[in-house]
Amino acid sequence: MLSGLVVALRAKVFEKVNGDNAITVPNDQVGPDRFEELYGHPAANGRSKGAGLSDLFWYWLSPGPEVHQEHLEAGPRYDDVARTTRGFLAGPGDELFDAATRCTRHVLDEVLTGPVTRVRLRDLMMPVWAEYFYELVFGEPCPRAARDLIVAHADDVVTSLKCTGLRHPARRARLTRYLAGRLADVRHPLPRTLSEPEQVHYLQGTYFNTAVVQMSEAMAHLLLALAQHPDVAKRIGDDRYFAHVLDETFRLYPLFGIAHRITTADIQLDEHTTFPAGSVLCFDYPAYHATGYANPDEFDPGRWEHTATRREHHIPFGVATNRPCPAWRLAPIIMRAATREVLRRVTLHSSASHTRSLPNRGPCLLVRDGSVPHRQLTRMRIRDRWEDVWRSVVQLVLGTVMVLHAHRLKPAKRYFDTQGCPARH
């Protein structure tokens, strides 16, 4: 109850401070049936310039947000960066799968010491993906010191994004310095339109922030859902069924709450619906994913046995015509590998709450002998509910502090003010 109130209050604070006249869809004007049409409109393509909201994202995702692919405006620099990322993430499926299995095994070997191990799933997965993306970038096994730097950085980003902690620029800068010294060892060509310091930020932002954070969150959702649906977990060995479970996890727990775009020209959807240039459009993933389904709040992988995702309201990686996620092929492959490896070694149990934003990081018990730890599950439930109360207050206070700080620093606005012509970027 209190946490719900606090979340609503936090949303209000964000809205007020950012000062954008944001339009969130689906709404009465643009229903779910026209959601993708608006999202995919050629003029719904501004990323950062002209929205107060961008200052907040740049603040959270620094250093170097101006060269993060997701924040670059359309143009040759964006094309160069997007092409580079596609090259990094390509590769034969079995090699990508094997590398993810190896990294998961390595981390589990360290973590699984007793019959029952208590973890937070997001924290469990972070070192796995730190090792994985280090290998992808440098083509060699990840040294422990580098893994610690990557995890410290990615954890700092996601903790501040969820407002459960403040950001620590010095912690992030340690990874920047490390990467600056390793630029010559990167095994793929880097974007030529970026300077060397920008290339360092590109690596840091794409592989050691976005990739590690998103994969850890996605795996936390998947493993938590399996922990709470043992019948589903039992069938996960079947590849087809695994794909349904993943589709359902992505539907119910999309990693993006909202993705925004700034319109670069007027958009006229029909005679009554026009969005002038400069409108901030917010695409609400959970709301869209909840329309068009029977019992949308229920976790039901079986629903995908009778229909295909392309026919439904299902866009976990964004829309194909407007800057979709470049990891749409890679992510399911490596999630299957990591899930197989975890379930080969342990059974999962959790009594914690499972929400889309997952601020509790997915408390879970990893059990090696197949028993059910009833008493520990009772303790987990009580602790999780209590934590939720104080965490909501922390999120409100820290969220407000960071929103105000970002508003004062205005990183995106200052950048665009000094750039003059945005077409150059």
Binding segment toward ligand HEM, per CB under 6 A, in 54-62, 156-164, 206-214, 274-282: 206-214
Binding segment toward ligand HEM, per CB under 6 A, in 54-62, 106-114, 254-262, 355-363: 254-262
Rounded Cα–Cα distance for residues 109 and 128 (Å): 11
Q: How many residues bind ligand HEM (CB under 6 A)?
A: 23
Among 3, 54, 62, 69, binds ligand HEM (CB under 6 A): 69
Q: Which helix (H) or strand (E) holds 320?
A: none
Residue 323 engages ligand HEM in binding (rule: CB under 6 A): yes
Strand, helix or coil at 288? helix
Strand, helix or coil at 275? strand
Residue 325 engages ligand HEM in binding (rule: CB under 6 A): yes
Q: Do 74 and 43 meet the contact criterion of CB atoms below 8 Å apart?
A: no
Pattern 149-178, binding to ligand HEM, x per CB under 6 A? ------------------------------
Q: Give the CB-nearest residue to ligand HEM.
A: 325
Rounded Cα–Cα distance for residues 308 and 316 (Å): 14
Smallest distance from ligand HEM to CB 366, Å: 21
Binding segment toward ligand HEM, per CB under 6 A, in 176-184, 262-270, 325-333, 403-411: 325-333
Rounded Cα–Cα distance for residues 54 and 406 (Å): 10
Between strands 280-284 and 273-275, the pairing is unpaired
Beta bridge partners of 368: none
Smallest distance from ligand HEM to CB 214, Å: 4
Among 3, 48, 54, 206, binds ligand HEM (CB under 6 A): 206
Q: Do 365 and 348 meet the contact criterion of CB atoms below 8 Å apart?
A: yes
Among 51, 130, 259, 337, binds ligand HEM (CB under 6 A): 259
Selection from 260, 320, 304 nearest residue 285 by Cα: 260
Rounded Cα–Cα distance for residues 154 and 167 (Å): 11
Rounded Cα–Cα distance for residues 189 and 182 (Å): 13
- Report the 10 Å Cβ neighbour count for 40: 15
Count the alpha carbons within 13 Å of 156 in the hemisphere toward its beta carbon: 24
Closer to ligand HEM at the Cβ: 69 or 104?
69
Closer to ligand HEM at the Cβ: 212 or 227?
212
Closer to ligand HEM at the Cβ: 108 or 335?
335
Smallest distance from ligand HEM to CB 87, Å: 11
Smallest distance from ligand HEM to CB 417, Å: 23
Rounded Cα–Cα distance for residues 261 and 423 (Å): 17
Binding segment toward ligand HEM, per CB under 6 A, in 50-58, 190-198, 204-212, 346-354: 204-212
Selection from 347, 337, 366, 346 nearest residue 123 by Cα: 366
Binding residues among 109-138 for ligand HEM as defined by CB under 6 A: none
Residue 256 engages ligand HEM in binding (rule: CB under 6 A): yes
Residue 338 engages ligand HEM in binding (rule: CB under 6 A): no
Query: Residue 89, Cα to own-chain centre: how many angstroms?
Result: 16
Enumerate binding residues for ligand HEM (CB under 6 A).
69-70, 82, 85, 89, 206, 210-211, 214-215, 218, 255-256, 259, 316-318, 323-327, 331
